């Protein structure tokens, strides 16, 4: 069955949404205000799925993608939509997630860059069966088939050069690409951390082995000799059948084990396994927003930085705080945070290497501000309960998932807390991913025990 439909808005997964006889219809590769013809390929009671047959009338918000691979690569799903309108679509996605709250969703803060903004690159490596050519790129949408990408405009140009050199040179060193189905082949991924501050690059070769072959060592030496902008080359040992890209076993063979990045005047050391936002300049917008809010509303508050990672929030907020308490369960991240504090002369921060929920259960003091920056799955109800108990004034919740943020805000407001502000930030341009910062007022008089 084919239908003529008008696309109304975007779903959180990037598909266009239309309606037919009261039934929601999802159609991929469409833009709001497109008039299209779609073939219905799946019918459920509550929704249908269609495939785009043709665009009858293009939306005024459609543009020509600046990447020639956009239609086949799964990385930039909505690059065919004008960037300013992308921000409107993302705001609508947040509004849909927050529809049960009486709260104004602020305009989305745009990314300072919409090209060359991505400073962490993770390319899977494969190999053709007949010619044995090395392939490196992103997966096609909804598959594990490689799109062999030689030019990617959303990452620094030096990354294209490094990847292309690896693609052409690896066979000379008898380094074969990984076969996911057979679990064979040496080189699984290439991960690059590229510094927006210095232009330096840490390159990590992820190999299907429990030891480092000599040919990998020779290849790593060749890489760092070839590129002045490569500041370090490492190897990550990952011989398990897993979708996880990096194991916890990384060895730096040549050069430095980190790059440097700046956030609001604080210099961080970012290692191969360090969690750090892939769009540093957009991340700085988030940190600046939080810091300005705290500085405008408090005089030297006590701050808890939970799920802290390398304590980026805690370290950036330190100079407007009386004292910061940072809690993170990953020992390596805690050590890197301590190094950053020492390097930047920050002395009013305490570090705890502990699971945040367990820390909440044992801490007796209360904090003026609690910053929650949990992983995509959000917080447990127990953690939220603890956060309410130990926070005197405000919870600042930073989330990369509007759905789990909505769930957690529902719990907090059910206990008497009030959403004061909700500000979205565009971290991943040309996708429907969106970061949000929620300012939550904790009123102890209303808090329901």
Domain boundary among 221, 237, 263: 263
**What is the tally of structural domains in the chain?**
3
| 400 is a catalytic site residue | yes
In a domain, 137, yes or no: yes
The CA distance from 42 to 50, in Å, is 7
Active-site residue (options: 31, 152, 159, 400): 400
Specify the pLDDT at position 363: 86
53 and 188 within one domain: no
Does residue 270 lie in a domain region? Answer: no
Beta-sheet strands, E only, within 98-186: 120-127, 134-139, 146-148
Residue 290 lies in a domain: yes
- Predicted confidence pLDDT, tens digits, the chain (449 residues): 999 999 999 999 999 999 999 999 999 999 999 999 999 999 998 999 999 999 999 999 999 999 999 989 878 999 999 999 999 999 999 999 999 999 999 999 999 999 999 999 999 999 998 888 999 999 888 888 899 999 999 999 999 999 999 999 999 999 999 999 999 999 999 999 999 999 999 999 999 999 999 999 999 999 999 999 999 999 999 999 999 999 989 999 999 999 999 999 999 999 888 888 999 999 999 999 999 999 999 999 999 999 998 999 999 999 999 999 999 998 888 998 999 999 999 999 999 999 888 888 888 899 999 999 998 999 999 999 999 999 999 999 999 999 999 999 999 999 999 999 999 999 999 999 999 999 999 975 554 44
Tell whether 75 is covered by a domain.
no
Instruction: Evaluate whether 385 touches 79 at the Cβ level (below 8 Å).
Output: no
Q: Are residues 308 and 432 in the same domain?
A: yes
Contact 258, 202 (CB under 8 A): yes
Residues 351 and 323 in one domain: yes
Query: Are 245 and 286 in a shared domain?
Result: no
125 inside domain: yes
d(CA 257, CA 237): 16
Whether residues 356 and 399 share a domain: the answer is yes
Phi and psi for 218 in degrees, rounded to 5? -65, -40
Pair (228, 299) in one structural domain: no
Unique residue bearing structure tokens 């919870």: 395
User: Are 128 and 218 in a shared domain?
Assistant: yes
What CATH number should be reported for the domain holding residue 431? 3.40.50.150
Among 372, 370, 358, which residue's Cα sits nearest to residue 329?
Answer: 358
Tell me how many degrees the CA angle 261-262-264 measures, rounded to the nearest 5: 160
Residues whose CB is less than 8 angstroms from the CB of residue 227 and which lie 6 or more positions away in sequence, other chains included = 158, 161, 162, 165, 201
Of 238, 263, 288, the one marking the end of a domain is 263
> Can you name the residues that pair with 306 across neighbouring β-strands?
372
Residue 109 · residue 120 · CB < 8 Å: no
**Residues 380 and 324 both lie in one domain:** yes
Instruction: Please report whether residue 385 resides in a domain.
Output: yes
- The CATH number of the domain holding residue 54 is 2.40.50.140
Looking at the structure, tell me whether residues 435 and 300 fall in a common domain: yes
Same domain assignment for residues 217 and 245: yes
- State which of 230, 263, 296 marks the end of a domain: 263
Asked if residue 80 belongs to a domain, the reply is no
Give Cα 259 to chain centroid, integer Å.
Answer: 18
- 145 and 231 together in one domain: yes
Domain of residue 365: give its range: 95-111+279-441
The CATH number of the domain holding residue 154 is 2.40.50.1070
Measure CA 288 to chain center.
18
103 and 124: one domain?
Answer: no
Q: Is residue 430 included in any domain, yes or no?
A: yes
Cα–Cα dist 362/325, whole Å: 14
């Amino acid at each position: 069955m084919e239908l003529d439909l008008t696309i109304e808005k975007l779903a959180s997964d990037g598909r266009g949404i239309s309606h037919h006889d009261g039934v929601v219809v999802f159609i991929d590769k469409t833009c709001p205000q497109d008039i299209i013809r779609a073939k219905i390929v799946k019918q459920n009671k509550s929704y249908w799925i269609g495939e785009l047959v043709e665009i009858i009338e293009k939306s005024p918000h459609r543009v020509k993608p600046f990447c020639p691979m956009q239609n086949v690569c799964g990385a930039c799903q909505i690059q065919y939509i004008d960037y300013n309108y992308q921000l409107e679509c993302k705001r609508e996605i947040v509004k849909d997630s927050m529809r049960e709250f009486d709260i104004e969703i602020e305009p989305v803060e745009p990314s300072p860059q919409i090209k060359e903004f991505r400073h962490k690159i993770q390319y899977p490596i494969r190999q053709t069966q007949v010619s044995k050519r090395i392939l490196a790129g992103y997966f096609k949408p909804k598959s594990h088939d490689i799109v062999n990408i030689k030019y990617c405009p959303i990452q620094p140009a030096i990354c294209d050069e490094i990847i292309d050199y690896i693609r052409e040179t690896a066979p000379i060193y008898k380094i074969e690409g990984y076969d996911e189905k057979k679990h064979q082949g040496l080189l699984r991924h290439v991960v690059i951390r590229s510094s927006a501050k210095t232009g330096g690059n840490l390159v990590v070769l992820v190999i299907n082995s429990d030891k480092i072959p000599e040919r990998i060592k020779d290849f790593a030496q060749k890489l760092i000799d070839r590129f002045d902008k490569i500041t370090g080359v490492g190897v990550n040992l990952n011989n398990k059948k897993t979708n996880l890209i990096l194991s916890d076993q990384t060895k730096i063979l040549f050069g430095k084990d980190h790059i440097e990045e700046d956030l609001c005047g604080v210099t961080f050391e970012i290692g191969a396994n360090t969690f750090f936002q892939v769009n540093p300049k957009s991340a700085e917008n988030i940190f600046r927003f939080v810091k300005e809010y705290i500085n405008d509303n408090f005089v030297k508050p006590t701050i808890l930085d939970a799920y802290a990672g390398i304590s980026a929030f805690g370290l950036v907020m330190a100079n407007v705080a009386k004292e910061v308490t940072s809690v993170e369960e990953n020992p390596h991240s805690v050590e890197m945070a301590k190094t950053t504090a020492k390097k930047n002369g920050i002395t009013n921060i305490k570090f705890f290497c502990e699971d945040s929920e367990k820390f909440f259960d044992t801490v007796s003091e209360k904090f003026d501000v609690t910053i929650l920056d949990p992983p995509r799955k959000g917080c447990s109800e127990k953690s939220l309960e603890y956060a309410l108990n130990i926070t005197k004034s405000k919870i600042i919740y930073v989330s990369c998932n509007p759905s789990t943020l909505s769930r957690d805000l529902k719990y907090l407001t059910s206990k008497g807390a009030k959403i004061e502000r909700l500000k979205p930030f565009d971290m991943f341009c040309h996708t429907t991913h969106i970061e949000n910062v929620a300012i939550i007022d904790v009123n102890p008089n209303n808090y329901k025990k």
